[in-house]
Structure 1
Amino acid sequence: MTTFTSHYATPEGGATAPVLAARDRSEDAAVLTSLRSADAERAILIRGGTILSQDPAVGDFASGDVLIRGGKIAEIGPDLAAQAGDAIVIDASDAIVIPGFVDAHVHAWEGQLRSTAPVLDFPEYLGFTHFGYGPHYRPHDNYVGTLATALVALNAGITTFIDNSHNSRTPDHSNAAVEALLDAGIRGVHASGVPIGAEVPSWPADVERLRAEYFASEDQLVTLRLMDVFPSAEVWEFAKNHGLWVSHEMGSHIENVADTLSDLSAKGLMTDKHTYNHGFDLPDKAWDLIAGSGGTVNVCPRSDAAFGLGSGFPPIDKVRELGLRPGLSGDNEISYGLNPFSEMQTLLNGHRGRTFERIAAGEEGVPEHLSPADVFEFATMGGAVNAGLDAKTGSLTPGKDADVVLIRTTDVNTAPLSNALATVTAFAHPGNVDTVFVAGQVRKFRGELVGRDLGRIRGLIEASRDYLFAASGRRPDVLARQGSTQVG
């Protein structure tokens, strides 16, 4: 019971303020049991939520329903109870219903190293990962790191990410990363790549073996592409010949980057099946080649700042000028947590600050401020375009897979619900993510990951971290105040 001592707690005139009852959650356990045991064809009705569909043809609803059948969105509307039959009903009256977030670029294999190095620049990051702990990774550690990151993603409402898995030291390392995505139940794009400075003779040829063993079905959650850090005609030609996308770390770290891309374009290798991460300090010629090829791009609001990439702020105005539809990226968990809400907030507020600064300096032709709608678009449909999965996910559209997220609006930081878009992009955090579906399968329900023995998973993560520290001659220092949380 809450007791108020101040007379200011009572409205003037002595009127009694309304007491809002919490929603009755007594039936939640039964609903979850039904969700986990029901036949795949049984319908699910998400009822009475505030819907942000991200599909202009569908629109948004202050109060509406989402009907799911066979893992796909069947219908969206204001009252679908009559069409739902014996559907499992989820009360969303205190939630915002959105499409799952799509993170366009994550290095998931580093998951057990999260928080170990809060202050690194980019060369230090490479020394820490590729040349530090990376060489000590067993296939088991690739699995554990990828699983750890995927579960953090699902917990935060990320239903899809592109896993730039550039630690494919052996075929078993590749297998382990793919199997972690499968076990996590996330919609993952395994972008197979090799560590910087490592000779891996089996790659990229082994990717065809990987495809045959794990990617036989086109209608599965985990898909395949390649990943590189420095553009290579050999890799790009392999990708084109085998019908694979490629994700790239793209920026001024590539010597003569415009000429390099121009040469690849002249060879017919720069196609629309390429995703470019970062894009820091690229010359206009490089941007023109990317835009002209139909490639996709994603920006990294926190990563660029944390690791000192280029100016430290993503080139979002250049991306917008070229009419590209960018995705958002968390990059990795070494120095900060994977969190789509933080990426949206950082980009939105950082861009406003820089725009105000340019206006105050008397600059003309300053681009318009980014809006909450812009950054939400980047975090959903923009990411789906980067993943090549915009026909499956990124919006609540009938016929698409049911990648659906519910965000509570009754938590202390999300109440009262006055503007749904502002709540999602500027006030919410992963702790407000109530329920997550991937292709109609429940992954999080009423604030808890479903079907996960978190004690066992945490044990795997800690044991893998401890092994990697010991193999590197280090140990964790939980009280560290300077840079890396390791001693050795």
Structure 2
Amino acid sequence: MSATLLKGGLVLTFKNNDPTPHAFKADVLIKGDTIVEVAPDLTVPHGSCEIVDCTGKWVTPGQIDTHRHVWMSIMRGQHSDWLLTEYLVKMTAMQSPHVTASEASIGTLAGCLEAIHHGVTCVVDHAHCINTPDHAPAMIAATIKSGIRSKFCYGRVAPIPAGFQFTPEHAEKYRSWQVKQITELAEQGVQSGMGAGRLSDRVDLGLAYDALSRQADLKNLGEHQEIIKLARKHGLSPITTHYAGGPVAQYSHNVKIWADAGLLDKDVLFSHANGLTHKDSVEEEWDLLLKTGASIGSTPEDELGVALGNPVAYEAVKRGVRVGLGCDCVAYQSADLFTQMRIALQWQRGHDHAVVASSSGTAPLYHKYSSASAFRLATLGGAEALHLEHKLGTIEPGKLADIVVISVDDSINLAGTIDPFQGYVFWTKGEDVTDVMINGEWVKRDGALTKVKWGDVVGDLRKAIKGVEDRRASPAEEKMIYEATCKQVGCAIQ
């Protein structure tokens, strides 16, 4: 069994069942895919062992992104100034249904490599661009090729038809082959000996399911129960679903709806969950999350930017609900969790300050949440949201070797850092992530990707982006369709 010894670094980590952040000088010994020892001055084991000098570097757990549409790295056109309503009409309805399997594949590969570059070792990929039977296999192959650890959550949804002409025939056309394909993909792992739902040694099949999000959806309860039962039969996890609740979203109670359907369990991961703290929210939903162990993937940057609602990450922390961070739509905002950590923390601080000022008329004396708390959200918090804290999220013996090495002494951003957790959250950037190990294998080394060279990807990526953009409607037509749709559903045109 191959071994790697990371020597002389400053280990930054939380530990299971310990609320205290730990920063300590230690060596980290990895054998195969597992961390076996963390202690100062470890001796080199007998046999083959790679020794990596980590002097002047931080050794940290890999980040875990709990909600990202990975394929969307091909959609970076003119989307960053859009509201959610614009995204849903101009992208989800007018662009996404026309994305080809090859475009989705290169988008997925580029998106996975981008995540790795920034220190993300595990991603929950809400893959909602499965337009044909060719799409999912191509996207899965790209994911495996990248070397990332992924929960590839198959998007069981029919693309929006032209003119928004929804019919039972259109829905059934996609439902039939998608359900068949989900079953076939899940059973591949059994046939290969890896286990149900396992697509490779680090890619597992999950389910993305947004068809159960309104009270009216309970009318089709049998259909929802069928697909969720199928997913659980084959061990697909997580089952992830969007739950918004801000100015541009309906104030539905998604957690309660899943509970009323008899489908809420610990494997359900609610993306955003802004409705938990906004208009017409009900305390019962928090109780249901705690009782079942269902979790939240909070994506603060886009939630604030596209009017989904205010971030709930720290409210979940306060209540003991499992929660991690995510990037969501990398088409229109940052693709790194460093940004998400900063925004989640600073928004919560600003909110808390406003509460203190309005209730007492005085200034706050201290921050309630530290930088280290944001580090935890991006690492152990993400593992807890996936119920994988026994395998991921910390640097401890017995955990899988998903590890990030960050250059400090040589970094323009970090050389002057005193507190490492503050430095990690507020000043670290992707350029400082020199090495990334996933499952005991280097996927980024000395600043360069190792599984797939970026130079071999960027040409195809740009070609795919151009193809998607060339199919866009003219600005005038896009504006006309968008405003007509908004009037149809009652949105205000500013």
* TM-score, length of structure 1 as denominator length: 0.82
Aligned to 1:395: 394
Task: Indicate if the aligned counterparts of 2:323 and 2:377 stay in contact, CA closer than 8 A.
Answer: yes
Q: Please, what is the CA RMSD of the aligned residues? A: 2.5
1:172 to 134, 146, 149: 134
Counterparts of 1:55-70 in structure 2, within 5 Å, are 55=15, 60-70=22-32
Mapped partners of 2:107, 2:336: distance in 1: 17
Residue 280, structure 1, aligned to residue 255, structure 2:
no
Mapped partners of 2:17, 2:359: distance in 1: 40
- Please tell me the residue identity of whatever aligns with 1:221: R
Aligned to 2:404: 405
| Aligned-residue offset at 1:274 | 0.5
2:329 to 304, 327, 332: 332
Mapped partners of 2:330, 2:405: distance in 1: 24
Residue 99, structure 1, aligned to residue 55, structure 2:
no
| Aligned-residue offset at 1:465 | 1.1
Secondary structure of the 1:361 match is helix
Task: Indicate if the aligned counterparts of 2:249 and 2:308 stay in contact, CA closer than 8 A.
Answer: no
- Please tell me the residue identity of whatever aligns with 1:244: L
1:250 to 243, 252, 255: 243
- Please tell me the residue identity of whatever aligns with 1:94: G
Deviations 1:290-320 (A, max 9, x none): 332210112111010121112xx20234313
Task: Indicate if the aligned counterparts of 1:327 and 1:378 stay in contact, CA closer than 8 A.
Answer: yes
Counterparts in 2 of 1:277 and 1:369: CA distance versus 1, 3 Å: same
Secondary structure of the 1:110 match is helix
| Aligned-residue offset at 1:60 | 3.7
Counterparts of 1:50-129 in structure 2, within 5 Å, are 50-55=10-15, 60-83=22-45, 86-114=48-76, 116-129=78-91
Residue 380, structure 1, aligned to residue 379, structure 2:
yes
- Please tell me the residue identity of whatever aligns with 1:99: P
| Aligned-residue offset at 1:462 | 0.7
Q: Which moved more, 1:398-407 or 1:353-362?
A: 353-362
Q: Which moved more, 1:400-409 or 1:288-297?
A: 288-297
Residue 139, structure 1, aligned to residue 105, structure 2:
no
Task: Indicate if the aligned counterparts of 2:6 and 2:28 stay in contact, CA closer than 8 A.
Answer: yes
| Aligned-residue offset at 1:355 | 1.3
Secondary structure of the 1:53 match is strand
Counterparts of 1:83-482 in structure 2, within 5 Å, are 83=45, 86-114=48-76, 116-193=78-155, 194=157, 197=160, 199=171, 200-201=174-175, 202-213=177-188, 216=192, 217-218=194-195, 220-231=201-212, 233=221, 234=224, 235-245=227-237, 246-252=239-245, 257-258=252-253, 261-262=255-256, 264-282=258-276, 283-284=281-282, 285-310=284-309, 313-362=310-359, 369-410=368-409, 411-473=411-473
Q: 5+ residue gaps in structure 1? A: 1-40, 476-488
| Aligned-residue offset at 1:47 | 0.4
Secondary structure of the 1:204 match is helix
| Aligned-residue offset at 1:289 | 2.4
Aligned to 1:49: 9
Mapped partners of 1:318, 1:150: distance in 2: 29
Secondary structure of the 1:351 match is helix
Aligned to 1:9: none
| Aligned-residue offset at 1:400 | 1.6
Counterparts in 2 of 1:354 and 1:379: CA distance versus 1, 3 Å: same
Mapped partners of 2:252, 2:299: distance in 1: 19
Counterparts in 2 of 1:166 and 1:388: CA distance versus 1, 3 Å: farther
| Aligned-residue offset at 1:57 | 7.9
Mapped partners of 1:357, 1:263: distance in 2: 32
Mapped partners of 1:430, 1:184: distance in 2: 17
Mapped partners of 2:339, 2:448: distance in 1: 20
| Aligned-residue offset at 1:86 | 4.5
Task: Indicate if the aligned counterparts of 2:130 and 2:136 stay in contact, CA closer than 8 A.
Answer: yes
Mapped partners of 2:94, 2:257: distance in 1: 33
Mapped partners of 2:443, 2:316: distance in 1: 34
| Aligned-residue offset at 1:322 | 2.5
Task: Indicate if the aligned counterparts of 1:408 and 1:432 stay in contact, CA closer than 8 A.
Answer: yes
Task: Indicate if the aligned counterparts of 1:157 and 1:430 stay in contact, CA closer than 8 A.
Answer: yes
Deviations 1:260-290 (A, max 9, x none): 6445424431111100110112322333323
Counterparts in 2 of 1:60 and 1:463: CA distance versus 1, 3 Å: same
Q: 5+ residue gaps in structure 2? A: 162-170, 476-494
Counterparts in 2 of 1:247 and 1:203: CA distance versus 1, 3 Å: same
Aligned to 1:36: none
Task: Indicate if the aligned counterparts of 1:274 and 1:296 stay in contact, CA closer than 8 A.
Answer: yes
Task: Indicate if the aligned counterparts of 1:230 and 1:249 stay in contact, CA closer than 8 A.
Answer: no
Secondary structure of the 2:288 match is helix
- Please tell me the residue identity of whatever aligns with 2:12: L
Counterparts in 2 of 1:109 and 1:474: CA distance versus 1, 3 Å: farther
Task: Indicate if the aligned counterparts of 1:196 and 1:229 stay in contact, CA closer than 8 A.
Answer: no
The sequence identity of aligned pairs, in percent, is 26
Secondary structure of the 2:38 match is strand
| Aligned-residue offset at 1:454 | 2.2
* TM-score, length of structure 2 as denominator length: 0.81
Deviations 1:244-274 (A, max 9, x none): 331010133776733x644542443111110
| Aligned-residue offset at 1:56 | 5.4
Secondary structure of the 2:355 match is helix
- Please tell me the residue identity of whatever aligns with 1:269: L
- Please tell me the residue identity of whatever aligns with 1:458: V
Task: Indicate if the aligned counterparts of 2:62 and 2:403 stay in contact, CA closer than 8 A.
Answer: yes
| Aligned-residue offset at 1:84 | 6.3
Deviations 1:206-228 (A, max 9, x none): 20112223674147200011112
